[in-house]
Amino acid sequence: MKLVTIIGARPQFIKAATVSRVVADRAEIREMIVHTGQHYDANMSDVFFEELAIPKPDYNLGVGGGMHGSMTGRQLEAIERVLLDEKPDWVLVYGDTNSTLAGALAAVKLHIPVAHVEAGLRSFNRRMPEEINRVLTDHAADLLFAPTDTAVGNLKTEGLPIERIELSGDVMYDAALFYRHRARQPGWFAKLGLKIGDFVLATIHRAENTDNPARLAGIIDGLANSEEPVVLPLHPRTRARLYDFGIKTPGNIHIVPPVGYLEMVWLEVACKVIASDSGGLQKEAYFHNRRCIILRDETEWVELVDAGYNLIAGADSARIVSALSKPLSDVDGAPLYGTGVAADLIIERLIS
């Protein structure tokens, strides 16, 4: 069986690597990895692939930048050429990026079966490009690997046939188990003089926050009133927005450079609590027995909020302060996302 995997951003490489490691042990499967180039990432060097035990892509299409429609269209055209050459039995797509949708559309128009990993997630905010990508990909795909019972319910509610839906668990839980013991402390951490287990790890990257001066100021004000010091790995783009909007960061917020995945895992384990607008960090907090204060007005991972592990604070400074000050007990480890064998289940289903 030939499998073509379409990915376009660094987090998708980490997800796809969990499946690729299973494929490597199956002689009956040959996988070709296609990187659309949606997100240029200078950190994706040879060291990145070696340290994270990720196979390098067989194709790098170099299609990134521009408006959503233009990017998706150019990706679709480039992916179609690859699929015509490779003639795979399955196309595997992950998540909710433009690359996800372009890969699914290119395949179905060539009558190649599509499997979608992380199917069924819904924020119910159709202003998010990711939400549109998720919905369209799910309705185009032949096989839907849903990470949670909630995701399965969403797919059923939308009328998708039950025979297409598979409760697989979450490949990111597979990844968390694999990388937990490979995590490494950032070189700058010791210089901050902070205690392990006594700081807030914060990230801000979504355009709804970084491009809105009122929301960005509200988040910074909320973090500024945290009882614990805050570590904020900051992308240059977000740093520029703070400068453009004239938003000052107080001394309790330690702004540090962006970190690699293994360093981020170490910070997640070492912190007391996480405050983030990242969907991935909401889950990883749970995987590493930490709570997450969600700096958005909604979340795709509703089960974590419903179970009381994570709290939605949005960009309201008072709600952020209140959430950060709540006593946070340990997560009890209830298996909301499977048992760490999602990749094995996905490959077994594709083969069968």
Q: Write out the catalytic residue numbers.
A: 205
Q: Take residue 68 and report the two structure tokens written for it.
A: 């959503």
3-class DSSP assignment, residue 115 = strand
Say if residues 4 and 80 touch (Cβ distance below 8 Å). Answer: no
Structure tokens at 281: 């960090």
Are 136 and 122 in contact by the 8 Å Cβ rule? The answer is: no
**Phi/psi at 126 (5° precision):** -80, 0
DSSP 8-state class, residue 246: T
Q: Round to whole Å and give the CA distance between 210 and 262.
A: 25
CA–CA separation, 153 and 50 (whole Å) = 38
Give me 237's structure tokens: 């783009």
One-letter amino acid at 262 equals L
What type of residue is 67?
M
The candidate with the shortest Cα–Cα distance to 121, out of 98, 139, 96, is 96
Contact 253, 273 (CB under 8 A): no
**DSSP conformation letters of 201-222:** EEE---HHHHT-HHHHHHHHHH
The DSSP element (H or E) to which 49 belongs, if any, is: helix 46-51
Secondary structure E strands in the chain: 2-7, 30-35, 59-60, 90-94, 114-117, 143-146, 165-167, 200-203, 230-233, 253-256, 273-276, 292-294, 311-312
The two three-digit tokens of residue 16, written as one number: 């796809």
